[in-house]
Structures are given as C-alpha cells and as structure tokens.
Amino acid sequence: MAHIALFHSVLGLRPAELLAAERLRRGGHEVVTPDLFAGRTAGTLDEGFRLLDRIGWEAAVERARQALVGMPEETVLVGVSMGTGVVADLWPERPATAGVVLLHAVADLPASVRPGLRVQLHAAEPDDFAPPERVAALRHAAQESHVDLEVFRYPGAGHFYIDRELPDHDPAAAELTWRRVLEFLGQADSAPVLL
C-alpha cells in the first residue's frame, strides 16, 4: 500500500480528481486530495487561472503543504496539470518520497532529487503544458541525476484527457494512464526508500 497526495488542476478539486482517488483506493492505496482552492472550481483554463490569481500561488502551495503534515515521508506526490507545479514546489521538502507522478504537465527536477527515485510523466501529444523541449530537458535532467523516469505520451488526446466531464476526455488514454499509474504505485510501494 502506498500513501498518496493527489493535487488538483487549476480547475479546482473536481470529480476527475475524486474519481481518480477512488480508483487508487480500490487499488489498495491511501489517498488524500487536498482542496487548494477552498471549494472553488472553474469550468475553463482561463477561469481557473483567474481563480488562482485571486487565491495566490503561495496560499495554494501552503494548503498543499499543510495537507501533508502527519503523512509519511515516503508519500507519493501526484500532480494533475497545475498540481505538477505544486508537486515541484513541495518535492524538495519531501526527499524521501517513494515516487512522483506528473499528469498533463512537466515539472522540473529539484537539485536535491534522490538518485533512483521513480518518476512518471503522462501527457497528451501535442500538449502546450508538456512541449517537446521541456520533456527533453526533463529526460536529460533525470539521466544526469540518475532518476528512473518513464514518459508516456498519448497522441491525439486533449490536455485534460482523464477528465470525463471535459471535451478533452479520451477514455482509452485515461484507462491506460491509470493502469500504468497503479503498476507504478505497486512498484513504488515495494521499493526500499534510500535516504
């Protein structure tokens, strides 16, 4: 069993994240889904970014940080789109994390990343939030830092392809993503934590 913190997109905590958390729980994992926007949601990216501007990035990240208080140090960090930025900010503070999953967007590796750490990136192709040059930079950084990175691209899917309530939804890509994430979590759960 893995402990997981799943951080939502700029649209707020919506059914997409809650359903994902339920699926992971059915896989035998403990999952928290912090609400970084205090109950507010948005219907479009533009609305979401305006909402984030009102809340403030630092306030959102602090809510995420508080949600991790008391959770095991090896808690797996999972970010959905904007949530990958939250993961990137918290990652240096959680060096013992058992794994990191980036959904729909790229995040930079922290300078202090632990060699051998397992990381997955799942993104549509093409996707403005996971452009080829950023993915290539992530691959290079992972190689340099000896991070075990897996990159999965989903050609023709929309940015929010896991969200069944949005036009981007791609059922086949979403199903494949969650199968791969569950396999990853099973391996992360059994892997020794190196400090």
pLDDT at 195: 31
- pLDDT band of 192, cuts 50, 70, 90: very low
CB neighbours of residue 98 within 10 Å: 24
8 Å CB contact between 84 and 64? no
- pLDDT band of 189, cuts 50, 70, 90: low
For residues 34-40, average pLDDT: 97
The residue extents of the domains of the chain are 3-190
Pairing, β 76-80 against β 3-7: parallel
pLDDT in tens, 105-143: 999 999 989 999 999 999 999 999 999 999 999 999 999
For residues 71-85, average pLDDT: 98
Least confident of 86-95, 117-126, 156-165, 179-188: 179-188
Give CATH for domain 3-190: 3.40.50.1820
DSSP conformational letter for 154? E
Whether the model clears a pTM of 0.85, i.e. scores above it, the answer is yes
Q: Which residues of 136-162 are buried (b: 16+ CB within 10 A; e: fewer)?
A: eebeebbeebebebebebbeebbbbbb
For residues 169-193, average pLDDT: 85
Q: Calculate the CA 130 to chain-centre distance.
A: 13
pLDDT at 194: 34
For residues 31-48, average pLDDT: 97
8 Å CB contact between 119 and 94? no
pLDDT at 187: 80
- For residues 194 and 14, the model is more confident at 14
